[in-house]
Amino acid sequence: MQQEMDSINKNGTWELTKLPHDNNKFDTKWVYKTKYHGDGSVERYKGRLVSQGFTQRYGIDYEETFAPIARQETIRMLISLATQKKWNIHHMDVKSAFLNGYLEEEIYVEQPQGFKVQGKDHQVY
């Protein structure tokens, strides 16, 4: 969780501010995953902070969505092509991939549990 918060802060994803009275805020929650080595032993525990943005309203809180992920079919096709062409395949994990989208709107989120800064109620993306 600390690595996730360090990455968010390093990338300048948000700034602490008071929530304006006429704005909506989104809660946050932690999503946990255990990463394993090829032999089944635990490599590390990963915590990811996510905004519960399902209360957003089109035209008010956002204009469009952005999700930098690949479809499973595309991955399968690329692996098949690489196998046929005898290409080497390398895997990598991109930390903070979703921090690369730029927003024109101000989005307010609640600070995550355990990381609240005194005197500041909310954070803005």
Count of residues in the chain: 125
Distance CA(60)–CA(62), nearest Å, equals: 6
Nearest to 122, CA basis, from 14, 29, 8: 14
Cα angle: 99, vertex 101, 105; to 5 degrees:
110
Q: DSSP secondary structure string, the chain?
A: -HHHHHHHHHTT--EEEPPPTT--EE-EEEEEEEEE-TTS-EEEEEEEEEE-GGG--BTTTBS--------HHHHHHHHHHHHHTT--------TTGGGG---SS--EEEPPTT-PPTT--EEE-
pLDDT tens, the chain, 125 aa long: 888 888 888 878 888 888 888 777 888 888 999 999 999 999 989 888 887 777 777 776 666 665 667 789 999 999 999 999 999 998 877 666 556 666 777 778 888 877 777 666 556 55
Query: pTM for the full model?
Result: 0.57
Spell out the domain ranges in the chain. Answer: 2-66+99-124
